[in-house]
Amino acid sequence: MTTEAEAKTMETGGTEKSRHTHPHGEEAVHSHTHDPEEIRAIINRLSRSIGHLESVKRMLEDGKDCADVLIQLSAVRSEINNAGKLLLKEHMEHCIVEAVEQNDTASIEKMNKAIDMFMK
| Burial class, 28, CB count within 10 angstroms (exposed 0-12 / middle 13-18 / buried 19+) | middle
Domains in the chain, ordered, with CATH? 35-119 (1.20.58.1000)
Mean per-residue pLDDT, 101-109: 88
For 30-69, write each residue's pLDDT tens digit. 566 778 999 999 999 999 999 999 999 999 999 999 999 9
Give the model's pLDDT for residue 27. Answer: 57
**What residues form DSSP beta bridges with 15?**
12
> So what's the pLDDT on residue 100?
87
Whether the Cβ atoms of residue 83 and residue 49 lie closer than 8 Å to each other: yes
- Place 15 in a pLDDT band, splitting at 50, 70 and 90: very low
Within 10 Å of residue 99's Cβ, how many Cβ atoms? 23
Q: Using the 8-state DSSP alphabet, how is residue 62 labeled?
A: T
Residue closest to 7 by CA, chosen among 15, 16, 18, 17: 18
The helix/strand/coil state of 3 is coil
More confident of the two residues 24 and 44 = 44
The Cα–Cα gap between 74 and 5 comes to: 38
Q: Does residue 5 have a pLDDT over 90? A: no
For residues 79 and 44, the answer to whether their CB atoms sit within 8 Å is: no
Please check the confidence at residue 25 and state whether its pLDDT lies above 60: no
Residue 33 is predicted with a pLDDT of 72
13, 10, 29: which is closest to 107 by C-alpha? Answer: 29
User: For residues 75 and 52, is the Cβ–Cβ distance under 8 A?
Assistant: yes
